[in-house]
Every structure is written in structure tokens, then in C-alpha cells.
Chains A and B, each alone.
Chain A
Amino acid sequence: KNQVEQSPQSLIILEGKNCTLQCNYTVSPFSNLRWYKQDTGRGPVSLTIMTFSENTKSNGRYTATLDADTKQSSLHITASQLSDSASYICVVVDRGSTLGRLYFGRGTQLTVWP
């Protein structure tokens, strides 16, 4: 069964600290993995997209890693800011269909305190 599991479910950190969010998946055949940020009451916004051959991709203070062999990804946030408080969703796309089926994790709820 194709699944995407994220950990931790929630995380509280102090402003300025770093954190790492985890994503494990069983989706096969794999096409690409995306990290989205979803602010409360808003739609998700794409942070990174990684294909099979990419190990690391950065977007400002966000750095995503991918290990396609172990089917694990992480999202590292550096020097956190209050505006980083949001849900971070890991999404894995398969390539077994024309649509490119998306499998969503439940997200990690990050809270940054001043």
C-alpha cells in the first residue's frame, strides 16, 4: 500500500533554532517528492520538488534531502522565524499513471515561539 508517513506530528521550537522534519514513504514507482508549507486557513504552497536523481535541494532557509534507496526525505529549517509556524506536508508522486498520483502525508505542525 502506498503511504507517506511524517514525523514528528508536531514540534515546538524557539525562534532562531534549527529543526528537521522527517518523511518516510512506500510509494512505488517513484516519480518525485515535494514539500509544501500550509499556513493555517490557507492552501499549501510548494517549497521544493525533488526527483529520483536529486539528493539535496535548497530554497532559502529550507533544505530538503532525499534518499531514494531508503525512501526517506527530510526538510531542514535553518534559523527559524515566527513566520515558519505552519504545517509542513510531504507529498510523493508516483509515475504509474498519466495523472501522476499524489500521496499526501498528514503534515508536521511546526510552532516557532519568540
Chain B
Amino acid sequence: EADIYQTPRYLVIGTGKKITLECSQTMGHDKMYWYQQDPGMELHLIHYSYGVNSTEKGDLSSESTVSRIRTEHFPLTLESARPSHTSQYLCASSDPPGHYTDTQYFGPGTRLTVL
């Protein structure tokens, strides 16, 4: 079992609220990722980070923002939640033993519902 944690596991909030989804890992991994996954659909990369003070947008456009002040912590923030943000958010980290074979370790996910 990978040492990567996400809180909260489930969140139901109203439209317009600001929320932060927490992700932390204790493996010292440099690379971290946020994915969005709707039921029965593939994972879509929304943010990633190569290390401290490094953040990049992924393939799927997202109104969320991320920060990477510490290696182990990669929180995702939505300034004003909308029903279209309802989804599962998965955090992952990886540290490559070799350049092209690094394994991504996923957290348990946060199921977000915006009413």
C-alpha cells in the first residue's frame, strides 16, 4: 500500500463555496499529480508538479489551482465551486527509478459533490 493520503474522502458542499482538497505523501517523491475521474470514464490529468515551487496545468482544463510549497504536500483549491465540479479527484505521486518506468502511486481519492 502506497503512503499517499487524501482528505476529505467525501465532500458535499453548496455552490460558490471555496474548498481545498488535501494530498500528502510520505515517500519523498518529487513528482505529484492531480486527476479528475467521472464514473465509467478515464482519468484526466488536471495539474502536475515536478517538485517544490513547480506546478503545471494538465490536459484537461480546470478552474482549480494547486500549490507545492513542501515536497510532501500538494493541495488543490477551488475558489468557487459549481455543480460542474462534481467528480472524483485523485492525487498521485511518482519517483522514477528509471526515466520511463516510474510507477504512479494513487491516493484513495476525494469524491466531491457540489449542490
Contacts and interface: CB of A to CB of B under 8 A. Distances in A.
Instruction: Describe B's contact surface by its main secondary structure.
Output: loop
Contacts, number: 50
Interface of A: 4, 31-32, 34, 41-46, 49, 51, 89, 93, 95, 99-100, 102, 104-107, 109
Interface stretch (B14-22, B68-76, B79-87, B100-108): B100-108
A106 to B, nearest CB: 5
Given A32-B100, A32-B101, A100-B100, A107 B42 contact: yes
A51 B98 CA distance: 12
Contact size range, B: 20 to 34
B109 A41 contact: yes
Which of A51, A104, A105 has most chain B Cβ within 10 Å?
A: A104
Contact of A51 (B2, B42, B101, B104): B101
B108 A41 contact: yes
A45 B106 contact: yes
A49 B43 contact: no
Given A43-B4, A44-B106, A100-B100, 10 more contacts: A31-B100, A32-B100, A41-B109, A43-B92, A43-B107, A43-B109, A46-B104, A51-B101, A93-B100, A95-B100
